[in-house]
Amino acid sequence: LATIFLEANAAREGVSVTDSGLQYEVLEAGSGASPGPRSTVVTHYHGTLVDGTVFDSSVERGEPAEFGVHEVIPGWTEALQMMSVGDKWRIACPPRLAYGEQGAGNAIPPNTALVFEIHLIAVKD
């Protein structure tokens, strides 16, 4: 299922694919600073499985999340460093850039591709 979704998503207009396999689509372009690998960021995000099932959402909690760029899944670490404050992106992470063969608890099965909408609100160094 992950492979089928990722192949179809990569073919969509506006979707770019990095060398690692991360897929991203710029929904809104900001003009602020970009975080580095040791930056702390403030984001709003909405995470779903490829079937649309929500597994985590700061938007639904009504509170932005703050964390280090290096403290998240590899797909996020890569995407965040390409973003600017004010950007809103939709990213699709292949399993190896997400939770891989382990999955994460009951919410994310093993070998699952994940989709996130990320709004980069602020960078704190």
The residues annotated with a catalytic role in the active site are 45, 55-56, 73, 99, 116
Helices and strands in the chain: count of H runs, count of E runs: 3, 7
DSSP calls for 68-91: EGGGS-HHHHHHHHH--TT-EEEE
Q: Where do the H-state alpha helices sit in the chain?
A: 2-10, 58-61, 74-82
Give the count of beta carbons closer than 10 Å to the beta carbon of residue 123: 19
